[in-house]
């Protein structure tokens, strides 16, 4: 696993302390940590799967902060997922 530069320390912690999971839509559960590659220039992002369900999209909402303060939004598949982790 290669850790993106902006979240390297977080990525290393997650890699050692959590289990890597699949990116299938059914696999995401509340409390899971998700990392994304936002573009082809190495811009990265990280968020947590919430316990709030989006019935229309049939998936959980994501808690994240991309510069405008913490948000609860349906952004799970908006960007390329680079990691999916769960603490066991």
> Strands of 80-86's sheet, edge to edge?
19-20, 80-86, 33-37, 44-54, 59-64, 71-73
Stretch (H or E) spanning 8: helix 8-17
pLDDT digits (tens, 9 = 90+) for 50-83: 999 999 999 999 999 999 899 999 999 999 998 8
Give the per-residue pLDDT at 60.
96
Looking at the structure of the chain, the number of domains it has is 1
Give the per-residue pLDDT at 87.
76
Domain range for 10 = 5-86
- The pTM for the full model equals 0.78
Stretch (H or E) spanning 34: strand 33-37
Distance CA 2, CA 67 (A): 24
pLDDT digits (tens, 9 = 90+) for 5-45: 555 666 666 666 566 667 778 889 999 989 898 887 878 89
Q: Smallest Cα–Cα separation from 85: which of 6, 5, 7?
A: 7
């Amino acid at each position: 696993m290669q850790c993106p530069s902006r979240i390297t320390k977080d990525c290393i912690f997650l890699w050692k302390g959590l289990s890597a999971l699949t990116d299938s839509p059914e696999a995401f559960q509340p409390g899971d940590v998700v990392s994304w590659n936002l573009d082809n220039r190495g811009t990265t992002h990280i968020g947590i799967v919430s316990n709030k369900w989006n019935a229309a999209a049939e998936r959980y909402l994501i808690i994240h902060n991309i510069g405008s303060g913490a948000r609860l939004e349906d952004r799970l598949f908006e960007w390329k997922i680079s990691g999916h982790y769960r603490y066991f």
